[in-house]
Structure 1
Amino acid sequence: MTISSMQHDNNSQNNKPLNARVAIVTGAGGGLGRTHALELARHGARVVVNELNADAAAKVAGEIQAAGGEALAIAGDVTDFAQMQAMAAQVVAAWGRIDILVNNAGILRDRSFAKMTMEDFRLVMDVHVMGAVHCTKAVWAQMQEQQYGRIVMTTSSSGLYGNFGQSNYGAAKMALVGLMQTLALEGAKRNIRVNCLAPTAATQMTENLLPAAALALLTPERVSPGLLALVQDEAPTRMILLAGAGSFESAHVTMTEGIHLGDLASSAEQLCERLAEVQDRSEGEVVPAQGFEQFMLEVKKAGAALG
């Protein structure tokens, strides 16, 4: 290699948006997690491949290294907080920092609510919700100290809008939206930005749920580019990015203008009669900056009613 070509390679690496950033991707031994890890590495990040199966983690880390990137394979169970703390400590010892966390690990235990066991409901909640909590808690202090962090929660349209047979999964995925909303507020002063990604991708989790024609379009590789937007230096915070088949949308939790009922004696009956007005989205619908805005709106309307 000539000096000029070496300089070109170095400049290309330095120009990558995630150059020298350290990223952890959970559940990265296959499917969407694997393509997330490869995408982050392609944009310059040093990637920690976390997976329950050590061989699967090592294989993906090997792919990154073979392409000229840096990667560590760390086996671990996201439902075990001690293991996630140990992983974070190992990453800091190796690379000095943790810039990006992608909470991707997940499972499915689909059944109608009537047929679902409490064990399957609890297991899905533990992996998706507590798994994300464990991983985030394990890196939070490091991100606060270094005044930088980018965290992505993996939500789903099943949580945002519902899906038959996925009460456990939907509950877990909507819980992650709530977690994201509050952590984004708490992390803002330390430049920790927290977002949600709602992927539509054919993975091992979904291969039996969709027809072949749809699976051919819904490849993980068509989702992972959206991840860059949520972890770059100029990333937003509190965004819910939907991604699938190369398309990208945004979801919002909104609040309508609603109505005020001043007569307590008849308010229940009036509300039943005027629910359509409460649901009306044509005027005054907003995306609240924080939960307190509900209180502010309601007190304001009550005050206006008092004259």
Structure 2
Amino acid sequence: MATLFSQEVRLLLVTVLFLIISADAKEKRTKTLRRIRREWILPPAKLMENTNYTHLEFIAKIRSDQDKDKKVEYHLTGAGASEPPYNLFVVDHNTGFIRITGVLDREKYPSYNLTGIARLKSGEEAEANIPLTVTVLDQNDNAPYFILHEGNVTEESKKGTFVMQIEGKDDDQAETINSEIAYSIVSQEPAGKGHMFTIDKKTGKLYVKEPTLDRETHDFYKLVIKGTDLGGAPGGKTGTGTVEIRVLDINDNIPTLSESEYSGSVDENVADVVVMRIKALDNDLAHTDNWLTVFKIAKGNEGNLFSIETDKQTNEGILKLIKLCQSS
């Protein structure tokens, strides 16, 4: 019984040893058969704009392992190589070293999608094409700028009334500190006793600062707005723009007559004639409903001999005799 058990143990050990040797041999055979089809060193994921890399031997390297026993020639295609801007990136046909020949500008080309190609002397591709992407990092090399902003606000508007959205532009990379603009008001014309408007530093929203806007005093304001990138931090680049604001009229003036008394005459036995013109004065905006005066005869026309209407061009009341006036 002991002998039988010993034989079973030996058989089991031999089987396990066989499986271990077989697995090891299979792994070695797999390693032997596996061939790395290509080798390439990625370019820097990001290259800084306005930086000179032309002195570097290479910024990336592509290599086919077939060059160990065959002649391989390397090529580069895509915008920045075989397409505009031509030959900014060039490859050494023998070594696969990729160099850069100029200084990058992110505002012109934020990235380059290149393709590395390895060909045998016969023209056959030695490897599958190698994608090479170069991303250009942003520098704060652009100042904010503005287009003309025009808007309106009603006179006597309350403090805090929203006037308009001011938006500066910055060609540096969006949603980065380099293009984050802080806003401020540099000047106001007419200057008056102080700024009539205020601007939110972060959002660029323009509001009424003082509730004393009076169209009859000033119907137009011109502001100079400054934008500072880096969120307004020291060292940020600045630019200015113009904002024009028209003050809109409200009916806040009472019409008055140019004279306290008027006199006129009319011949007897006539009708439908102008007796006189009565000038009304109103400081609201001319030729608007706020300025136009409505005349009425309050007393003395019990016989309905007269009528009065408004000359809309001059804001005068035209008093007419509309029925025959006969002497008694």
- TM-score higher than 0.5: no
TM-score, normalised by the number of residues in structure 1 = 0.18
Higher normalized helix content (fraction of residues): 1
Higher normalized strand content (fraction of residues): 2
TM-score, normalised by the number of residues in structure 2 = 0.18
Which entry has the higher C-alpha Rg, 1 or 2?
A: 2
Higher relative contact order (CA 8 A, sep 6+): 1
